[in-house]
Structure 1
Amino acid sequence: MREVLNAELEALNEHLAAMAGLAAVAMRQATQALTTGDLPLAERVIAADAELDAARDTCEEHAQRLLALQSPVAGDLRTVMATLICAVKIERMGDLAAHLADLVRRRHPEPVVPDALVETVDTLGELTVTMADRLHDLITGEAARGFTEMDDADDSVDALCARLMSMITSEDYEHGVAAAANLALLARFYERFADQAVSVARRLEFVTTGTLP
């Protein structure tokens, strides 16, 4: 029975790690679409979100079946419950990447990001993709106890989003109200993606330590 439970937990873990990988790809491609105005790429990001939705459903079904048939206790139960929570949060990360891509579709053929702000958005993309990649490593065990590092990265994302907001509300901003509204949404989506990643890292550390950081 223990061998069966271990195999089920490993499969569940691999599934969650794959979800983090999908979220990283979605954010990488969404950022590229934003900064280049690549509409076909944006459409692919939006379409691919269904894969993450399905992956969340599969992860939840697997976890619920494990709870019903294997009756895990103590640390194993903590792992299963954390996985259920993390799957929802990672799926939400995919939604946020799709929301970014949708800005490209709605703004096309006009760019979402003015040339002067491309570097800032590129940096936001790099930070958030790195956070999703880090989640993958934390889930697979290639990295350990990464909550503090993720929290620091989140602070960097928040600072860049604040900088972006200050740029579009300054007297020097000259790209119009509609563009400013889209940029404000963009900043919010990046910020929430990072928040969700930190929340997942917190739960993963709870699995290891038994205490929420």
Structure 2
Amino acid sequence: MRDAYQEQLDGLAEILSVMCGQVADALEKATRALLEADLQLAEEVISGDALVDETRSTAEERALALLALQAPVATDLRIVVSAIHGAGDIERMGDLALHVAQAARRRHPRPVLPPEVAPYFAEMGRIGVDLARKAGEMIRTRDLEQATAMETEDDAMDDLHRHLFTVLMDRSWPHGVGPAVDITLLGRFYERYADHAVALGRRIVFIVTGQMPGPLMV
């Protein structure tokens, strides 16, 4: 019985890890759609968001079944509760990738980004995808060191996000209000995506240590 129960807990972690892979793929495609004005990639992200939602539902159903049938305690209870919250974080990452893809579709065939800011978004996309993939591995392994490192790795995303405002506030900005609004919103989407990945790291810290790090606003 205990082996079967442990398999259920491991299966729950696997579902969340799969979700991380889904939202990493979504952001990777959405970023390419944004940079290359690729309508097909944008549509793939938009249509694929339903799969992320379905996977979240599966994770929550499994977690609630464990709560109802197994009455977990201590570490096991932390795993199940964190899985419910973590599924929400990952789904929100998928929603943010969706918003990026929708921006690319809305402006197609025109590019969304002026050339001088495109490299910033290429790097923000790379960081976001990397964080999501690391989160998937961290959920599988419950690696405390990797979990605590997530916040440090997010610093690069925050630096890029802040630097975008420097570019936009420059008096020589030649592209007008519309592109500035798009860039501001898109930068926020990437920054929040990374914040949710950091939140997943904090939940792993909670599972392993029993203590939740300080709150992160996402």
Asked if TM exceeds 0.5, the reply is: yes
Matched, 1:208 2:208: yes
Identical residues among aligned pairs (%): 43
**Cα distance in structure 1, aligned partners of 2:27 and 2:169:** 26
**Paired residue for 2:34?**
34
Unaligned residue ranges in structure 1 (runs of 5+): none
Residue 84 of structure 1 aligns to which amino acid in structure 2?
A: I
Unaligned residue ranges in structure 2 (runs of 5+): 214-218
**Paired residue for 1:159?**
159
Tell whether the 8 Å contact from 2:19 to 2:90 is kept in structure 1 after alignment. yes
**Paired residue for 1:174?**
174
**Cα distance in structure 2, aligned partners of 1:46 and 1:20:** 17
**Paired residue for 1:66?**
66
Q: Give the CA deviation at 1:165.
A: 1.7
**Cα distance in structure 1, aligned partners of 2:52 and 2:115:** 31
Tell whether the 8 Å contact from 1:100 to 1:189 is kept in structure 2 after alignment. yes
**Paired residue for 2:79?**
79
**Cα distance in structure 1, aligned partners of 2:18 and 2:120:** 28
**Paired residue for 1:127?**
127
Q: Give the CA deviation at 1:143.
A: 4.4
**Cα distance in structure 2, aligned partners of 1:186 and 1:69:** 43
C-alpha distance after superposition, 1:7-52 (max 9, x if no partner): 1101111101000111111111111111111111011111111110
C-alpha distance after superposition, 1:111-138 (max 9, x if no partner): 1111111111111011111100110110
Residue 212 of structure 2 aligns to which amino acid in structure 1?
A: L
Q: How many residues align?
A: 213
Please, what is the CA RMSD of the aligned residues? 1.2
**Which TM-score applies when normalising by structure 1?**
0.96
Q: Flag as ranges the 4+ runs of structure 1 deviating above 4 A.
A: none
